Amino acid sequence: MFLLMTHNMYQQQVFRSLLTLVLGIHVCIARIDIVFENHTDVYVEEGQELDMNVTILVYNGSESTIIFQSLNENEFEIINASTYSVSAGMVLPRVYHVKIRGNNLGLSSIVIMMSGVGSNEMTRVAEIPVKILLVANYFYDNVLNYLFFIPLSITYFLMGFTLDIKLVLKNLKRPFAVFIGFTCQFVLMPALAFGIGKMLQLEPTAAIGLLLVGCSPGGKLSNDLSILVDADFVLSVTMTTCSTLLALGTMPLNIFIYTPLITDSTIETPYDQVAIQLVGMLIPLAAGVLARLRWSHYEKKAVKIMKPVIAVVLILVIGSSLPFQLYIFYAPWQIYVSSLLLPLIGGTLGAIMAKLARLKKEQIATIAFETGVQNGIIAYVVLINAYPKPEADLAGRVPFISIMLQFFLGMAVIGIYTLHKRFVFKEGKEPVEDKVEIAIDSGTYRSTSDSTVLKDDVNEEIQQPTDRGAVINLAVEDTEF
């Protein structure tokens, strides 16, 4: 009896295996060849309706149903009949008219699903990408995007014009702090941006935007913050200048390393265009350095004039472009969170690395700012002018939001530092920032701000005379020369 049951079970298993094999062969024999009118990508603007043709050239399977579906109806939808029957005896080629309507900026696909009659199983047999564009606007596409070059160019010209090469070279003679800063900027930040994008599962375009922010050098905001919180301003300027030059190589390199891990071949990175945009930004910097060689005596006047000019132009450009960029504020919450986490975590890790390297507290603060506060305008300009649309518009949301959040974070840091100075220090121990070294024999002086002392600790320290004479170190408050 036992042997008979075993024999029957063996026969059932063999029958099931043969049935599976036959069904598999039947599926392989069925063939369907589908041709789209658009052989690569379908482009449709927001609110636009588009007709497209889908042709079945060959079909030799059993009677089945094909269904046209939108992969994301929030971005586009199919507005006509989307379900059809196919059979081996139908007249071929058979053309189906599909009408779609763009809803919101994005990247999606039309997929063709197929199922047998009476079957609930669906098989994807074809797919074509659909790219939904913003409504075309000549002023925005051909004028405003290029206007962002104006404040950026003025900023870099001013950076070059006010750059004291001697101070930069002085920092580079002892480059340990600069090396720590560069490691944080060009190794830590890109890796952090990539990790945050993976953690929050950002869509590929947003992940690329965050990566470009992480690859960008420091900007003017980090220099201003270094001044306002009594950090090492000379180190800040040195790092900003050198990182801007190094970004010419490090930004394309990091893009090359990380983008294959972020996206597939549907989003191509135009490395040549990225390099062109970066080289274009170095031109005003070089022009500023050359102008300083001839007209350095106009430095203070140039700074006084150009700073408000930059502010006014930037406000006008952002204000003019905002009506065309309201879609940015409808970005998913992951983009806001990632744009906030990148400077917060980056600045914190930069400070930790500088602390572990036993740098001075002023240098620690500077490296924290230079690491966390990246030049989002560079990332935005590179994205908008190097990548195709709509990928550029989708990726550009991240640096735009990042710029705003970095500004608010900077204001918060300044507020906390001001309150700390005002209420944490004991009464009668206000910080004194200016330290003056007076060489008695030469009658010269030098004012620096690389340290902070307390009023009760102010004393006169006379060093042993040297061959140049005695040096008196005085800590004074609000001294002007």
| Tens digit of each residue's pLDDT (9 = 90 or more) over 96-153 | 888 999 999 999 999 988 887 777 788 888 888 999 998 877 777 677 667 767 777 7
Write the CB contacts of 471 (distance below 8 Å, at least 6 apart in sequence).
Answer: 437, 438, 439, 440, 462, 463
The edge-to-edge listing of strands for the beta sheet with 444-448 is 444-448, 434-439, 471-476, 461-462
Cα–Cα dist 106/114, whole Å: 26
Q: What is the pLDDT of residue 271?
A: 67
Q: Phi and psi dihedrals of 362, rounded to 5?
A: -65, -40
Residue ranges of the chain whose pLDDT lies below 70: 1-32, 36-39, 141, 144-145, 148, 264-271, 273, 277, 306-307, 310, 314, 425-481
Q: What is the pLDDT of residue 338?
A: 96
| Token pair in block for residue 403 | 């710029």
> Would 29-133 and 138-424 be classified into the same CATH topology?
no
- CATH no. for 138-424: 1.20.1530.20
CB 132 within 8 Å of CB 108: yes
Q: What is the pLDDT of residue 395?
A: 92
Task: Please list the helix, strand and coil fractions of the chain in percent, rounded to the nearest 5, in that order.
Answer: 60, 20, 25
| Matching CATH number, 29-133, of 3.90.1300.10, 2.60.120.260, 2.60.40.10, 3.40.1160.10 | 2.60.40.10
Q: What is the pLDDT of residue 479?
A: 38
- Tell me the domain boundaries of the chain: 29-133, 138-424, 431-476
Q: What is the pLDDT of residue 273?
A: 67
Q: What is the pLDDT of residue 267?
A: 60
Q: What is the pLDDT of residue 333?
A: 93
pTM: 0.73
